[in-house]
Amino acid sequence: MPHPQSTRFVPIREAICEVLVSAPALSEVESVVRDREAFARAPATQYPVIGVFFADTAGAERLRWAGNRRDHSYQLEVHVAVRALESAQASEDLLFGYVEAVEEALRAAPTLGGLVRFMSAALVRRVRAKVESYWHSQAVLLVTCEQRVE
């Protein structure tokens, strides 16, 4: 018997990845990865890099009082990481440019082509650190989508 296929979670993640890959403002991004370990091990030549992962609280269901409708809520994390040689400030400025480009790309596709009812994104965390000879900056956006299932 074949393994079951995701009909809700994975298609939403893939739609978000497609939106980010096709955004003109993100054309300098070297890769959009779906694996946390691959994101963490990305070589210096692969920056800037974006990772799209399911959040720890990936999904929830709310029953509706009318009929058999259910609202499903999905949470994904979009990680953006950049490196800069110049300074901590240059790294952070570059990071915020990419964060804004990710926000704009997601805002331009609020229903992911009709896959979800709505989507929102919020910057929830950012870090900056000196690593060897460069500055590494990373931000996490929490993306929340809602889908109605009849």
Q: Pick the closest to residue 14 from 26, 28, 32, 29 (CA basis).
A: 32
Query: Where residue 109 sits, what CATH number does that domain have?
Result: 3.30.2000
What confidence tens digit (pLDDT) does each residue in 106-134 have?
999 999 999 999 999 999 999 999 988 88
Give the number of domains in the chain: 1
Residue 2 lies in a domain: no
Cis peptide before 43 (omega within 30 of 0): no
Residue 3 lies in a domain: no
Q: Which domain holds residue 60?
A: 9-149
Secondary structure class of 140 (helix, strand, coil): strand
Question: Residue 136 has which token pair?
Answer: 């590494």
Residue 4 lies in a domain: no
pTM confidence score: 0.89
Residue 88 lies in a domain: yes
Q: Pick the closest to residue 19 from 93, 111, 89, 100 (CA basis).
A: 111
**Torsion over CA of 100, 42, 23 and 95, rounded to 10 degrees?**
20
79: confidence class by pLDDT, cuts 50, 70, 90: very high
Question: Residue 69 has which token pair?
Answer: 């409708």
Residue 1 lies in a domain: no
52: confidence class by pLDDT, cuts 50, 70, 90: very high
What span, in angstroms and rounded, lies between the C-alpha atoms of 72 and 69? 10
Residue 70 lies in a domain: yes
Residues found in the chain: 150
Beta strands across the sheet bearing 49-63: 31-33, 49-63, 70-84, 134-149, 118-131
Q: Which residue has the higher pLDDT, 132 or 47?
A: 47
